Amino acid sequence: MLANTPKPPYYAVIFTSVLNDPADGYDAMATEMLKLAEGQSGFLGFESARNSIGISVSYWQDEASINAWRDNSAHRIAQNKGQTDWYRSYRIRVARVERDSVW
Amino acid sequence: MLANTPKPPYYAVIFTSVLNDPADGYDAMATEMLKLAEGQSGFLGFESARNSIGISVSYWQDEASINAWRDNSAHRIAQNKGQTDWYRSYRIRVARVERDSVW
C-alpha cells in the first residue's frame, strides 16, 4: 500500500484537493487515471488517501516524465472535468525527493 | 484545509504510514504533535488524510527546520512510541518543492 520507490533522487507530485459534493464519476475517473499513469514512462509509484481532504502523491523518475503525464491527452480531459465538475480547490506541488527512510 | 504555502522553493516532508489495529492513543498524539510542529521555527503548513493508509505532508522553510523538528525531544518520544506501538510501516521522504499551482 506504501510505494516502494527507488533510492533518491526522484520526483514527487503532491496533489491535495477538496471535492465538490456530489462529485459524480470522480472515483471511476481516478481509477482510470491511475491505470494510465502506471503505464507512463518514468512512473515510480503512487500513494493516496482521502477523508476531509484528499492527498495523492505520485512518484516519477524526472521532470520530463511528470510533464509528459501532465500533457497526456486523456489526462488533459480529466483535468478539465476536474476543474468544471469535481474539485472545489486543489494544489499541485512538484518536489525533488532528496532523502527517505523506511520502517 | 489545504496549506497556504509561500512561493517555492521550500521543503515538504511526505510521511506515509499504515497503522496497527488498534492504535490506542494515536489520534491524541497526532493532535499534540501537530500543535508542537506549528510552533517550530520554519513551519509553513500541514495537510493530512487517512483511510487505508495515512498521508501527512508538512511544509518547512529549509532543511535545518526539518532537522530541528526531527530532533525535538517530545517528538523523539512520539517517534519511538510510533515504532513500538502505532505503525505497522511507514516511509518518510524529504523533498524540495520546486514549483506549485493552485486552483
Inter-chain CB proximity B54 and A49 less than 8 Å: yes
At residue B40, the pLDDT reads 98
At residue A27, the pLDDT reads 95
At residue B1, the pLDDT reads 87
Inter-chain CB proximity A103 and B93 less than 8 Å: no
DSSP string, B29-48: HHHHHHHHHHTSTTEEEEEE
Residue of A nearest to B4 (CA): A91
For range B82-89, the mean pLDDT: 96
Residue of B nearest to A102 (CA): B91
pLDDT grade, residue B45 (50/70/90)? very high
pLDDT per residue as tens digits for the range B59-68: 999 999 999 9
Cβ-Cβ contacts under 8 Å, B81 against chain A: none
A20 has a chain B CB within 8 A of its CB: no
pLDDT over 90 at A1, yes or no: no
pLDDT over 90 at A71, yes or no: yes
B51 has a chain A CB within 8 A of its CB: yes
pLDDT over 90 at A3, yes or no: yes
pLDDT over 90 at B53, yes or no: yes
For range B37-61, the mean pLDDT: 98
pLDDT per residue as tens digits for the range A5-46: 999 999 999 999 999 999 999 999 999 999 999 999 999 999
At residue A103, the pLDDT reads 93
A-B contacts (CB, under 8 Å): 122
Residue B16 has its nearest CB partner, among A47, A89, A95, at A47
pTM for the full model? 0.97
Quote the cell numbers at residue B89. Answer: 510501516
> Whole-number mean pLDDT of chain B?
97
* Percent of chain A predicted with pLDDT > 70: 100
pLDDT over 90 at A94, yes or no: yes
Listed in sequence order, the residues at least 6 apart from B31 whose beta carbon sits closer than 8 Å to its beta carbon are none
The whole-angstrom distance between residue B65's C-alpha and the CA centroid of its chain comes to: 13
Q: Among A4, A31, A9, which residue's Cα sits nearest to residue A96?
A: A9
pLDDT per residue as tens digits for the range B7-22: 999 999 999 999 999 9
At residue B33, the pLDDT reads 97
pLDDT over 90 at A69, yes or no: yes
Place of cell 462529485: A23
Distance of alpha carbon A82 from alpha carbon B68, whole angstroms: 38
A12, A59 in Cβ contact below 8 A?
yes
pLDDT over 90 at A89, yes or no: yes
